[in-house]
Structure 1
């Protein structure tokens, strides 16, 4: 499949990802950059609300419920705007042409790099969590249920909560476009970074600087200057739901800046900002709850800066400021300590991390032992100097310092209790936390870039050059183009360059790829010709065998990477190859419907590790198995001993 043939599916993804939000935002009076930046977050809310409504109503998840909910909410918003037009006034923003040029500067390099990382539309990330993600999308498409309270364990156990926002989004694109599951994933992720992330970064920065040309273009260049987002999350985990939530975060924080009035003066109302926050937070929460907590935490510098400013202006009634600030702190504390997984879920990270190294990495923008991101590091330093000297927007330095603290403490394995309190929301996983650093740092770096541009523009030699023969407008345009080309070229150097290379290596099918090899994929694609309808396949999930369900729809006994919950399933995994001697096996086979074994060896998706199931090892004719098909070392066996 080519990217050109995937284009119709990509357009469907854009309609789903932007359409509801554009409708809602236009009704509320949003214009230009604000409309474009909030279209994605509002649309994600439309997706998660519609998927839950469809589940409660017993309606299959599809475009129908999405359009119905979008239209219903649009009517409510129209009535609200008609009644409270003045109270919901929004700043119209700067020229649309300027915004679209800046978006092009942001989206083009990130989009091209993303296409290179993915390689082919049907490549998959060769990572552990993708077993669940691919199978979850198949499960939604077949069951018609994209509800978060039901997604966990994919129907093999009692309903369990798992944030389904990203899966619901991909599933509706899948069912509406005719794409394969891998291609639907890739076009949706491409659409997310091109629109939600790129417009969100422009929106966040300009809430502080105003919609100046220099600020827009600086934010555009810097949106692709960090390795930890989006490029890390293309391959780490993969944690696609978390990636979606972080792409939403700049727009959410931009609304907080507007609400707290700690940035550029804008003609917005408190009621309007609160309504917009109410509109985007459900999407953020069901994309990934940890980012809702992260948004609360990263809002702290803005909230405190606003409280300090108000107390300085008017201290006659301090309770009017202290009461809402205290309420926010209480909500933050409760959310921080309760919206988190069990402590045992962080066990994999107990012996990992180096706090000293992490401290150096946040200064150099080189998390996870990568080379420095030279452009981002230099501009962040310049921004820090600017805000300290001008005594304006110092909260932006506190914002990055807060995110840096989260990353450093998450690496501080010598203080496990403090580490859990600070970073337990993210499983103590400093990879995930590193992906928040660009969101927290892009304002500071953009302020540094704008300050450097302003200083250069005031120098007599520069002003003389721009006003020389040929017209200042043409020369200024040429200078801007040259600076943009230099910035876009410098942005990937260092950490980004290495991060992109590592991500691309995870999206290639080879004879030794970690999750699914080219031979195993070829065998899976022939399964519909070999396996009769109604039969269930069993295989060791972490060898990639469970992806047979995602690719073919043929049920697999265990569609994710843990042990089965049923007693019969446990017997199959522990003793299937003992059919001739163990009287428990054949009743378990009959109960589970297992008729085939997909043998992908013992190599785990985790490099250098092996994965075994005791009952799936001796697949011989004597033990009741018949080889039906094979490709290289991968083989399909029919169960004949029962």
Structure 2
């Protein structure tokens, strides 16, 4: 099942983009690397469009839209874009082997960390992403505004970019696995996508093949990206967007070098893909793009009018194709800003950035040393100066987000939620090729003084030595980082899953189960299809988006016996059952005030319980529902008490 699921996920991620890229005249590494971001571009275009046309989201919508867009590109393509710089077959094979190795490491680490893709991610944002996938797959509603039912069901002008969720929902619609399995399988492809994306950018910028190959391998080594982002949050869409960012930039470079209509069109589609995945990634792309243009124009000592026209057409195309996401992003930008408290002092924040120790105390020394060498030898990578400068800027912003309070820091880091982890991931985009340069520089020093064959053997042995000293490119460290996410609790334990499965057999269509937003119970939607009152862990920034009933019940549900407002609110929501789990999303959370001591509420009767979860059914204050007859079993059946033993609950070590 895991192999089938992984193959299906990879097919849906790559095939639509490959068809579009081929129709536009892309070939080689740029075609392969550009395919995923072009696929997301199609989800970004079709997601808002399908509901307007009265269509439910399905694989047929994605395939049909892809075919029509590819046909249009074939019509306007004309002659093919300029060919890529020639590599020998051996160089292609070495780079392909490097990408494959990185992809294999990524798949293997997530497969084992998630227990064969089946373990539930335990932390904050994973709940939203899982429920978003289930909602889209079941309802067919692909509008970004439709996700308000999860986080802010009463919001009138809600927007959340759903390009990532649409593709995972498409995987789930094929019936090859659960929502959790589909999420984990898609995320397992992330390292390979990143390695392929970095390869395309470096090749487009005419970087030496040896450096490209080493950089591809190193994409699986740095804990800061993507492993930290797959645990912190977890920030699945954002991590996906960052992995695709180099490929999108490679398309921009190619469009500037060979401004054919079809090439400009697919580049615009790629930018829509970044925005549909996460708008803050598209803002980062704009920052990198400005650096790219500055270096191009300063090197040429002029601003070519043709490039200005290409940029204008590119912006117009991206705006036309992604207008729904652009307008949605602008409307969401007016919402409440989030500002993390100071996490650490400047020396510690800077040290964690420089020594690659954001989530572990031990520095990644065997990556730091070649990085320093790469910085000293950077003149060999001058075409990437813009990438290095922009990445350093994001690194400094991450230090500011971690160590400073103030209006300027808040303003500059606002597009990235004032989050040092997101900003540090962007810093690593330049660290990877610079570290690769450092390693290749060392290999050149080992190889060149020796006869050719002996030198190649010495270089190969040096690579093996590096792999040994770095503990297999830090695979154990990175696997441990991923494993934190899949601990079997405390948010959702196996016993809580059993309770949710039982609940699914009790709830009628259209009913909402009241729950505590913080105890992991929102996962019931993704796992069983039962809709909870709170579909996501609350962050305190929902404002009026929750309506009046949910906050009222959250504070006063325990007064159901005596408070007519509470009973009216429960009736308005269609609540007949209450679910209580034992674990919380983070260790600092507490039970909602209205859900404390529910055993004392006469209008609630326990219909299921085990050591980790309890399900209550609502009755009238006298203990009976109008439809129930005295002496007969009420709807939902008798109380079921699980005999499963109590299992110890791990304590979450990951911040929310």
CA change 1:99–1:592 in 2 (3 A) is: same
- Map 1:539-618 to 2 at 5 A: 539-562=515-538, 565-601=546-582, 603-607=583-587, 609-618=588-597
Distance 1:532 1:321 in 2: 62
Residue 226 of structure 2 is aligned to residue 234 of structure 1? no
Alignment equivalent of 2:182, drawn from 184, 189, 194: 184
CA change 1:66–1:634 in 2 (3 A) is: same
Distance 2:197 2:307 in 1: 30
Residue 57 of structure 2 is aligned to residue 61 of structure 1? yes
Residue 271 of structure 2 is aligned to residue 281 of structure 1? yes
Residue 79 of structure 2 is aligned to residue 79 of structure 1? no
Task: Indicate the SS of the match to 2:248.
Answer: helix
**Residue of structure 2 in register with 1:469 after alignment:** none
Task: Quote the offset at 1:44 in angstroms.
Answer: 1.2
Indicate the RMSD between aligned Cα atoms, in angstroms.
3.1
CA change 1:338–1:588 in 2 (3 A) is: closer
Task: Indicate the SS of the match to 1:152.
Answer: helix
Alignment equivalent of 1:303, drawn from 287, 293, 301: 293
CA change 1:341–1:380 in 2 (3 A) is: farther
- Map 1:164-175 to 2 at 5 A: 164-175=162-173
1:242-297 deviations in Å (ceiling 9; x for gaps)? 11111111212233444567xxxxxx557675344212111100100000001111
- Map 1:515-530 to 2 at 5 A: 515-530=491-506
CA change 1:9–1:325 in 2 (3 A) is: closer
Task: Indicate the SS of the match to 1:546.
Answer: helix
CA change 1:488–1:26 in 2 (3 A) is: farther
Q: Report if the CA contact (8 A) 2:94-2:213 is conserved.
A: no
Q: Report if the CA contact (8 A) 2:24-2:263 is conserved.
A: no
Distance 1:90 1:338 in 2: 38
- Map 1:86-97 to 2 at 5 A: 88-91=81-84, 94=87, 95=89, 96-97=92-93
TM-score, normalised via structure 1 length: 0.85
Alignment equivalent of 1:514, drawn from 490, 494, 514: 490
Q: Report if the CA contact (8 A) 2:30-2:250 is conserved.
A: no
Q: Report if the CA contact (8 A) 1:304-1:325 is conserved.
A: no
- Map 1:67-466 to 2 at 5 A: 67-81=63-77, 84-85=78-79, 88-91=81-84, 94=87, 95=89, 96-154=92-150, 156-157=153-154, 158=156, 160-194=158-192, 196-210=193-207, 212=209, 214-258=210-254, 268-269=258-259, 274-311=264-301, 320=305, 341=333, 344-347=336-339, 349-368=340-359, 370-388=361-379, 393-414=384-405, 416-459=406-449, 461-463=450-452, 465-466=454-455
Distance 1:492 1:55 in 2: 50
TM-score, normalised via structure 2 length: 0.84
Distance 2:402 2:465 in 1: 34
User: 5+ unaligned residues in a row in structure 2: which ranges?
Assistant: 317-325, 622-656
1:456-490 deviations in Å (ceiling 9; x for gaps)? 3321x353724xxxxxxxxx4x5565454444445
Task: Quote the offset at 1:532 in angstroms.
Answer: 4.2
1:309-352 deviations in Å (ceiling 9; x for gaps)? 111xx6xxx68599789999x99xx99x97984685323x1332
Task: Indicate the SS of the match to 1:237.
Answer: coil
CA change 1:573–1:411 in 2 (3 A) is: closer
Distance 1:344 1:575 in 2: 26
CA change 1:144–1:492 in 2 (3 A) is: farther
Distance 1:239 1:209 in 2: 32
Task: Quote the offset at 1:184 in angstroms.
Answer: 0.8
Task: Indicate the SS of the match to 2:291.
Answer: helix
CA change 1:567–1:70 in 2 (3 A) is: same
